[in-house]
Amino acid sequence: MAHSPAASAAHPAPIVTLTVNPALDVSTSTEAVQPEHKMRCGPSRVDAGGGGVNVSRVIERLGGHSTAIYAVGGATGQAYRQLLEAEGIIGRAIAIEGSTRENITIDETSTGQQFRFVLQGPTVSEAEWQQCVSATEAAMHLGGYVVPSGSLAPGVPDDFYARIARRARELGVRCVVDASGAALAEVVAEGVYLVKPSGRELGELLGAPTLTIDEKIEAARELVGRGRVEVVALTLGGDGAVLVTADSVTRLASPPITVRSTVGAGDSFLAALVLRLAQGHDLAAAFRAGVAAGVATATTEATELCHRDVVEQFERDLAAAATA
């Protein structure tokens, strides 16, 4: 990689996120989810969601900045854009013909269970996804980070993130990917700085959905050992996370918390990890920040994301535990 300027909290490396299949996240609650009856719902809230955009939103909440590239269309797309702008997210909206999807999260108050309906999303044409690639490339800077994250919309090729990863490498930018299925397989084959699979996603990648945690860690080590992926940040929900590099395996347990909703936990993990790296922290500290933000988001209701003071407290606790 070419020489890159030293990053610090005062002069962080630039971060660009990419979301090709964003969604308006509608969340509400009802007493019991049941067929046929009308289910009267409580108050609802609407958030601009989707992998990369959520990463940008959490970075902003933690006091950092990023550029969000996202594809939107239709009336829902307009609402989406306005919500993001109201949150102070700087970015570039790529206009698409189809209408931005809505995802629905229902909290069932009688049981505490959560139901998440994830819609497929509009088809994105080749010209449209190519524009996303060009806009992302234009926003990448030497020594910076690019974070393509979330599902691929219908019409987008499986190697979409792999294309971004290739350009990032050529431009001296670190590519950090949160993807699943074929998109993850392609990016891992292409080569990338960091991938953040959940335990389930890593199992699927290997065609072995029922691995134990130790087997998943071993699989992550093998992935790094193949030499195409520098870092695997394997997240394990309530079981915490594992960071694997060529010469280290670090496992962190989640601090004990009352879980309210894990929506956005993985995005929060990734956002804090990338922000701390961009601010010049080492991988160990960035990894602690990731766990801190994932846990902090799990303590908030529905689609609500983490709060800065809570994240920073968990970061201090985890740092103290690391040196104890």
Ligand X SMILES: Nc1ncnc2c1ncn2[C@@H]1O[C@H](COP(=O)(O)OP(=O)(O)OP(=O)(O)O)[C@@H](O)[C@H]1O
Which residues are catalytic, by number? 267
Helix (H) or strand (E) holding 31: none
At 182, is the secondary structure helix, strand, or coil?
A: helix
Name which of 54 and 131 has its Cβ closer to ligand X: 54
Helix (H) or strand (E) holding 174: strand 174-177
In whole angstroms, what is the distance from residue 42 CA to residue 57 CA? Answer: 25
User: Binding to Mg ion (CB under 5 A): which residues in 231-270?
Assistant: 266
Helices (H), 140-233: 160-171, 181-190, 199-205, 213-225
* Contact range with ligand X by CB under 6 A, out of 40-48, 96-104, 121-129, 293-301: 293-301
In whole angstroms, what is the distance from residue 163 CA to residue 54 CA? Answer: 22
Rounded to whole angstroms, the maximal C-alpha distance in the chain is 63
Interface pick for ligand X out of 54, 262, 300, 303 (rule CB under 6 A): 262
Interface pick for ligand X out of 54, 66, 245, 254 (rule CB under 6 A): 254
Q: How far is the CB of 132 from ligand X (least distance, A)?
A: 21
| 9 scored as a contact of ligand X (CB under 6 A) | no
* Contact range with ligand X by CB under 6 A, out of 12-20, 99-107, 233-241, 306-314: 233-241
In whole angstroms, what is the distance from residue 266 CA to residue 291 CA? Answer: 9
Q: Mention every residue, 6+ apart, whose C-beta is less than 8 A from residue 285.
A: 276, 319
| 237 scored as a contact of ligand X (CB under 6 A) | yes
Q: How far is the CB of 179 from ligand X (least distance, A)?
A: 10
| 150 scored as a contact of Mg ion (CB under 5 A) | no
Q: Applying CB under 6 A, which residues contact ligand X?
A: 198, 200-201, 235-238, 240-241, 254, 257, 259, 262, 265-266, 269, 291, 294-295, 298
